[in-house]
Amino acid sequence: MNRRSTSRLVALTAAAGLAVAALSGCATGSGGSEGSDGDVTLTWWHNATSGPMPAVWEEVAAEFEADHPGVTVEQTGYQNEELQRTLIPNALAAGDPPDLFQVWPGGELRDQVANEYLMPLDDVIPDTVSSVGATVNPWQVGGETYGIPFTFGIEGFWYNADLFEQAGIDETPTTLDELVDAAGKLREAGITPISVGAGDKWPAAHWWYQFALHSCAPEVLQAAETEFDFSDDCWVEAGEQLKEFLGTDPFQEGFLGTPAQTGAGSSAGLVANGQAAMELMGHWNAGVIGGLTADQQVPEFLGWFPFPGIPGAAGDPTAALGGGDGFGCSADAPPECAELLEYIMSEDVQKRFAASGSGIPTVPSAVSSLEDQNLAAVAEGLAASSFVQLWFDTALGTTVGNAMNEGIVNLFGDAGTPEDIVTKMQDAAATL
């Protein structure tokens, strides 16, 4: 009796141990991309969580599955920062990455390539690489292509034409003084002039980027990106100009806690619901704003104009700040991954992307499918720019980028100086 109960316990424990082993064994098996029966499962991580994009990617995945029997595409949209900062780095580091995923140019791309995490694409899908022309350059390292952008655009102001009219502003500002002037008129009319999602840090930082872009000569920008040299005075000047601009009180109340893209109270939501007159934001903003209105449509009143010039500044007046989203395959992904990427970049899908109003497509022949006038204006602005500076935080990599953004938000909150921003960037660069 006694012995029996003991041995029963032993058996139970052993069984439990076996079960654990079996379960984890299964898990190991399912982690791979290819099942034993030749079927292929592609995992695809992207950053589309709202607006029309999740539906577009879902369609694309379904169509690809239909065209490729035996292939299953598991696509998931993640919140952008989580995807970029936690999910993909962890997955790559542990050797269990998704097959197709978002690849950000700049510092991160260089790290990933150095660790041989990414599949070189030039020999696999050469036509797709060349279809986007020079736009692919930021996704190249040492002449090899590791990612292909499906969208690329520049930043500008998304504004409410009705509110501008109400405040008596006839023309969109073309100089910084005119912008300050317009903001003043809007204030007088009882309208919040500009919304900024400083709670997410980067939307506030983009203001400083713009001032830096206009203050710093192209060589200085180049030196910053390659050698982390921020000794030029123009970096501090950018902060001083921003500080002066902040002094005119152009932003909504409580901007330090405002998120950029989620909910009616976000900076994009304020514009979408007519509670703020404009927002400085990337080319994707039409889609975001459209997703935040009650009827899920891009509002009629929405207009776009580029960041105004700063007369007498040292920077290249025709330079613009921008960036894009691209996909790449992990080094060990099955060949179907590149095929899926090829399909995503096909003219047909690019045209549908353009028609969805979520951003500017990168395949030139698809640009004509932009139905949204504002996006067409952004595309025009893009074409007119002599060069496009990548978002500084992307270009400088996570470590320096985060320190920079933090310093800029401190300036927004009057808890730091223009010099502090540069010091933070230098300190962060020193730890690399």
Q: How far is the CB of 264 from other proteins (least distance, A)?
A: 6
The interface with other proteins within residues 198-217 (CB under 8 A) comprises: 198-199
Query: Using the rule CB under 8 A, is 266 a contact of other proteins?
Result: yes
Q: Please answer whether residues 422 and 236 qualify as being in contact, where contact means their C-beta atoms are separated by less than 8 angstroms.
A: yes
Between 61 and 321, CB nearer to other proteins: 61
Q: Among 56, 50, 92, which Cα is nearest to 268's?
A: 50
Residues touching other proteins, count (CB under 8 A) = 75
Q: With respect to other proteins, which residue has the nearer C-beta, 198 or 354?
A: 198
**Distance, CA of 424 to CA of 429 (rounded, Å):** 8
Q: Which of residues 279-308 bind other proteins (CB under 8 A)?
A: 291-294, 296
Among 2, 37, 66, 171, binds other proteins (CB under 8 A): 2
Stretch that binds other proteins, among 84-92, 214-222, 317-325, 372-380 (CB under 8 A): 84-92
- Least separation in angstroms between CB 146 and other proteins: 14
Q: Least separation, in Å, of the C-beta of 90 and other proteins?
A: 6
- Asked whether position 85 contacts other proteins by CB under 8 A, the answer is yes
Among 108, 225, 232, 342, binds other proteins (CB under 8 A): 108
Q: Which of 142, 190, 257, 312 binds other proteins (CB under 8 A)?
A: 257
> What are the residues whose beta carbons fall under 8 Å from the beta carbon of 134, sequence distance 6 or more?
none
Cα dist. 267→303, 316, 372 in Å? Answer: 16, 29, 21
Q: In the stretch 27-56, what mask flags binding to other proteins with x, by CB under 8 A?
A: xx-xx---------x-x-----xx---x--
Q: What is the dihedral of CA 102, 106, 110, 112, to 10 degrees?
A: -20
Using CB under 8 A as the binding rule, whether residue 409 contacts other proteins is answered as: yes
Q: From the CB of 115, what's the least distance to other proteins, in Å?
A: 6
**C-beta atoms surrounding 319 within 10 Å:** 18
User: Residue 53 — φ and ψ, nearest 5°?
Assistant: -65, -40
Give the whole-angstrom CA distance, residue 272 versus residue 292: 6
Task: Decide: is 399 part of the binding site for other proteins (CB under 8 A).
Answer: yes
CA atoms within 13 A on the CB side of 81: 11
Collapsed DSSP state (helix, strand, coil) of residue 3: helix
